[in-house]
Structure 1
Amino acid sequence: MAALAEAMKAGIWFDRSKVESAEDKYQEYLAGTQSSGGEVSQQIAEARKKIQDTLKESGSSSKSSSEDVESLKKQVKDLTGIITNMNKKFESLESRLSALEGKGSTTPSKPAEAAAQNGVEDSDEDSDSDVDLFGSDEEEEDNEEAERLKQERIDAYKAKKSKKPTLIAKSNIILDVKPWSDETDMAELEKCVRSVQTDGLLWGASKLVKIAYGVQKLQITCVVEDDKVGTDFLEEEITAHEEYVQSVDIAAFNKI
C-alpha cells in the first residue's frame, strides 16, 4: 500500500484493477497465514491435553488394577485359612468317631471271658457265704414299703380326680306346642307345659305365635341337661295333657 501511494504521488499509475486484485490476494494470504497458524497451535494444545489425560487414565487404571490384585490375594489367603481350619476340624471329628466306634465294638478278651466263665469256680468260700439265695427280710420290707407308697399315690390321684368338677353337657331347646283350636285357653296350656318338672330341666321365656284362622301356638324355651332329660321325655309329658295340647314340635335345638 505504501508503494502504491508513493507511485500515485510520483504520478505513476498502473492498471487499477490489477493492483487492487493483487492487494486483495496479499491480504488474503496474510489472513490465511494467521488463521492457519492459530489452528495449528490450537490443535497442538489439544493433542498435548489428550496425551496428558491418557497418561493420567493409564496411571489410575494401573493403580486400580494393582489394588484389585492385592484384594484377590487377600481373599485367596483368607479362604485358604478357612479351608485349613475346616480340614482340621473334620480330622478331629473323624478321630473321635473312630475312637467311639472302637469302644462300642470292643469285645472282651479271652482272659476276661475265661474269668467270667470260671467265676464261680475261682470265687472263694467267703464270697459264696455273702450271697443270700433266699432273700433277706430287709428286701421284703423294702418291697412292701414301695407297694404301700405306690398305692397311696394312686389313692391320692383318684381322690384329686373325683374332686375335679366335671363338665355337664346342656342344650337349649325351643318347642312349638299347638292347641286343638282357636278356642283353647292358651294360658292354661302354658301352665300345663310348665307343670312338667324334673331334675335337669329349666323352663325359659315363651310367646304366642299366630298360625292361621285365629289359631295360635305356644313357643317356649327350655334348658336341659343332656344326660338327664331328652326330647322324647318332653314330648310325652307335654302331650299327656290331651285336653289342651294337640302336638309338640322341636323348633330349635342348640348345644350350650
Structure 2
Amino acid sequence: MEQLFKNMGVWVDKPVYEEAERLYYEKLAKQPPKKVSLAGEVAKARERIKQSLENFDDLSLSKNSYDPEVQSKIDAVEDKVTLLRKDFDELKRSFISLEKVVKQLDAKISKSSGKPNDSSAKPSSQPAKTKDDDDDVDLFGSDSEGEDEEAERIKEERLAAYAAKKSKKPVLIAKSNIILDVKPWDDETDMKDLEKAVRQVEMDGLVWGASKLVPLAYGIKKLQISCVVEDEKVSVDELQEKLQEIEDYVQSVDIAAFNKV
C-alpha cells in the first residue's frame, strides 16, 4: 500500500520530516544567546567607516579623471569663443572708424553750408567800401542800379504769382449736421403739411435732408428732420425762431443732435 502511494506521488514520510524540523528548532531555541562584544562592534564600525572613506576617494578620483573626448570638445568651444572675440574686436574698430568718417563728413557739410552765407555777405560789404572810398567817381553805379531794379521786378512777380496761387486754393467751409425735433400741437395736425411748411424755410447755407415721423404719446407724432448748415452763414437760434413762426402747425422745435461735418 505504501509503495502504491509513493508511485502515485504521495509524500508518505512528511510527518517524520515535520517532527525532525520541530525538534531542531526547539533545540535552537533552548541554546543560550551569544554574548556580543562591545569592542568587536566598535572595530566593525571603524572598518565600515574606513571602507566608506576609501570608496569616496575612489569616486573623487574617477570624477577628476582625464577624458580626451570631453577635453577636445572643451578646447573646440574655447577656440570658437576666441574667434568670436576677435570678430567682435574687429567690428568695434570698424564702427569707431566709421563714426570718425561720419563726423568728418558732418564737419565738411557744415563748412560748405556756411560758405554761401559768407560769399553772400561779402558783395554787400564791398560796395559799401567802394562807396566810402570813392564818393566822387562811381564807374559801375549805373549797372548796379539796373541790377537792383531787375531783382526788385523779379521779386514782385514772384510775390504776385504766390498770392495768385494761394488765392486759388479752396477755402475750408465749416459745416454742421443738425437733427431737429419739430412737435405739433395735437394729433389732428397734418404732418405732411407741417413738413412741407418746414422745408419752405430757406436760408443761405441751409440744406434740408431726410425726415421721419416719430411717435410721442396718445397718437401724437413729431417730425424729426435733418439739415446741413454752414456755420458762418446760418445761426441755429435764428433757424429755430423761423420754424417756430409756423404757428399753425409747430408747437416747439428742439435740437436732437448736433455734429460738426
> If the length of structure 2 is used for normalisation, what is the TM-score?
0.49
CA distance in 2, matches of 1:243, 1:59: 111
Question: CA shift at 1:142, angstroms?
Answer: 1.3
CA distance in 2, matches of 1:196, 1:171: 18
CA distance in 1, matches of 2:234, 2:254: 16
CA distance in 1, matches of 2:137, 2:178: 73
Question: CA shift at 1:199, angstroms?
Answer: 2.0
CA distance in 2, matches of 1:175, 1:162: 37
**Structure-2 change in CA distance of 1:208 and 1:59 (3 Å):** closer
Aligned equivalent of 2:39: none
CA distance in 1, matches of 2:260, 2:147: 53
Sequence identity (%) = 57
Aligned equivalent of 1:221: 226
> If the length of structure 1 is used for normalisation, what is the TM-score?
0.50
CA distance in 2, matches of 1:161, 1:180: 53
Give 1:252's aligned amino acid: A
Q: Does 1:243 align with 2:244?
A: no
Question: CA shift at 1:227, angstroms?
Answer: 1.7
**Structure-2 change in CA distance of 1:179 and 1:58 (3 Å):** closer
Please state whether the residue corresponding to 1:190 is helix, strand or coil.
helix
Please state whether the residue corresponding to 2:179 is helix, strand or coil.
strand
**Structure-2 change in CA distance of 1:60 and 1:229 (3 Å):** same
Among residues 200, 203, 206, which one is paired with 1:201 in the alignment? 206
Aligned equivalent of 2:194: 189
- Unaligned stretches of 5+ in structure 2? 1-64, 108-132
Please state whether the residue corresponding to 1:174 is helix, strand or coil.
strand
Give 1:218's aligned amino acid: L
CA distance in 2, matches of 1:181, 1:143: 81
Question: CA shift at 1:158, angstroms?
Answer: 0.9
Give 2:217's aligned amino acid: A
CA distance in 1, matches of 2:197, 2:203: 14
Q: How does 1:59-78 map to 2 (within 5 A)?
A: none
**Structure-2 change in CA distance of 1:58 and 1:176 (3 Å):** closer
Give 4+ residue runs of structure 1 displaced > 3 Å after superposition.
Answer: 57-61, 128-135
Q: How does 1:156-171 map to 2 (within 5 A)?
A: 156-171=161-176
Question: CA shift at 1:197, angstroms?
Answer: 1.0
**Structure-2 change in CA distance of 1:59 and 1:209 (3 Å):** closer
Please state whether the residue corresponding to 1:154 is helix, strand or coil.
helix
Give 1:186's aligned amino acid: M
Aligned equivalent of 2:151: 146
Aligned equivalent of 2:235: 230
Q: How does 1:1-256 map to 2 (within 5 A)?
A: 132=137, 136-256=141-261
**Structure-2 change in CA distance of 1:172 and 1:140 (3 Å):** same
- Unaligned stretches of 5+ in structure 1? 1-56, 101-127
CA distance in 2, matches of 1:189, 1:71: 95
**Structure-2 change in CA distance of 1:58 and 1:235 (3 Å):** closer
